[in-house]
C-alpha cells in the first residue's frame, strides 16, 4: 500500500500517474475531481499502514510499493493524447439537435 507522508509525495505521485490516467476525473469545476483509488488511499492509509487486515491487502493491490518506491496503480491506463478543445461560445438548436459553436 502506498503511504504518502506529506503533500509533496502525494503530488509527485499524482503528477507521474494519476493526472495521466483515464480514470482520473476532472470536470474543471473546482469540486469534481479525483479517483476512488486515490480517495481510498488518502482516507485509510494512515489507519491501515501497519495492519494485517483484508482492507490493507486490497490497498496493497491498488497502489503497491516496493521498498521505498511507489509503483504504478493497478488501475492505471495512460490517457491518449487529446487536442485542446476550443471554448464553447454558443449553443443553438438546429434541426432538433444541439449545435455547439466554438470560439476562434
Q: How many angstroms separate the CA atoms of 37 and 39, rounded?
A: 5
Residue pLDDT, tens place only, 32-71:
678 889 888 888 878 888 889 998 888 888 988 887 688 8
Predicted structure pTM score? 0.66
Residue 1 confidence class, pLDDT cut points 50, 70, 90: confident
The answer to the question of residue 1 being in a domain is: no
The answer to the question of residue 41 being in a domain is: yes
In sequence order, what are the residues at sequence separation of 6 or more whose Cβ sits closer than 8 angstroms to the Cβ of residue 10?
4, 42
Residue pLDDT, tens place only, 62-75:
988 887 688 899 99
The answer to the question of residue 55 being in a domain is: yes
The three three-digit cell numbers of residue 13, written as one number: 505521485
The number of domains in the chain is 1
Residue 101's H or E segment, with its range, is: strand 97-102
Among all chains, which residue has been given the C-alpha cell 485509510? 44
Which residue segment(s) compose the domain that 62 sits in? 7-102
Amino acid at each position: 500500500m502506498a503511504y504518502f507522508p506529506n503533500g509533496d509525495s502525494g503530488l509527485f505521485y499524482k503528477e507521474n500517474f494519476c493526472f495521466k490516467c483515464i480514470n482520473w476525473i476532472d470536470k474543471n469545476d473546482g469540486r469534481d475531481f479525483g479517483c476512488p483509488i486515490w480517495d481510498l488511499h488518502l482516507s485509510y492509509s494512515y489507519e491501515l499502514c501497519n495492519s494485517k487486515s483484508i482492507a490493507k491487502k486490497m490497498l496493497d493491490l491498488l497502489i503497491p510499493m516496493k521498498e521505498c518506491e511507489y509503483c504504478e496503480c493497478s488501475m492505471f491506463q495512460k490517457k491518449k493524447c487529446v487536442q485542446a478543445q476550443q471554448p464553447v461560445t454558443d449553443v443553438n438548436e438546429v434541426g432538433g439537435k444541439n449545435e455547439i459553436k466554438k470560439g476562434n
